[in-house]
Amino acid sequence: MPSATNIGAARRLATGTAANRPPARAFQKKRSAMGRNDKGHVGFIGLGTMGREMARNLLKAGHSVTAFDIVGSAVEELASAGAVAATSPAQAAASADIAITMLPDTPQVEEVVYGAQGLLASPPAGRLIVDMSTISPVAVRRIHADLKATRTDFIDAPVSGGPIGAKNAALSIMAGGEAEAFARAEPYFRAMGTTITHVGAPGAGQAVKLCNQLICGINIQAICEAIALGRASGVDLEQLRNVLLGGSAASWMLEKLGPAMISGDVGAGFRIDLMLKDLRLVQEQAQALSVPLPGTALVTSQYIEARAHGEGANGNQALFRVYDRMTNRA
């Protein structure tokens, strides 16, 4: 049994002294910024395949959302779910605690930030902007610096998980930026994702996302090659997939996209065009840093071939059509 002296020491260690105990005010402020019950007002800009589901999940979590998209019907659809419609990015963000953008590429994000009705001229009331698109890390650092000059924090927080992850609020979110800004954004991230990681300084989120896309692209290519070889060998492709899922070749892509490859379903989830954009960003980053990526270069050429054959609007699994053409099965 521990002695009374030891018990007293343990209590002092657990409670701390007045000198070393954190101030109650600071602790409460941190809890408020990070607490799971925090609700706020979000200006959400970009209601495409991913964005509309992410905005819906923010509403489901109890946040209020004011939304903008260049496609009016997308705004009307979200308004029917409880959002407030806006007619410009500035209006969407005007009274928001946080503005979130989810857009196709770097130029669209730059237009929303720097445009006449953009966020640089009219920052959100909470002075916090989070871009969850996949864009250039170089652009991210420039945007961060320009917004910082207006006392507005900027977080780059691209996501992985695709439309399914967006719908199920199960995205992986990788965020770059200052730790305090990340802490302010985290309660909103919890409404959209399950794996939420602060990966470093501004631009680090995009760097991690590009590494993610590199792996995804090469993984899809490997699955295409395995299915092509299995088909030529006369193997039952469903059995092939099930066996591979039970061993070291298992992957998210094989589980989620394998059935569509086998059945010939090219319906869009994450489109060929968007993956090709991401692979372009990967190669730009690699060239700037003198990192050779021969596998990425090869799969990029196959995505280019797919788009040249009119597959750009099809889902990622349509890369298998390249192998159909190469094996004279098209």
pLDDT at 330: 77
pTM of the model: 0.85
pLDDT at 38: 75
pLDDT at 292: 98
Give the DSSP letter string of 193-260.
Answer: EEEEEEEESTTHHHHHHHHHHHHHHHHHHHHHHHHHHHHHTT--HHHHHHHHHTSTT--HHHHHHHHH
pLDDT tens per residue across span 109-154: 999 999 998 999 999 999 999 999 999 999 999 999 999 999 999 9
Task: Identify the helix (H) or strand (E) that includes residue 131.
Answer: strand 128-131
On the question of pLDDT at 256 being above 90, the answer is yes
Residues designated as active site: 209
- The mean pLDDT value for 206-227 works out to 98
On the question of pLDDT at 325 being above 50, the answer is yes
pLDDT band of 268, cuts 50, 70, 90: confident
- The mean pLDDT value for 174-178 works out to 98
φ, ψ (nearest 5 deg) of residue 175:
-115, 135
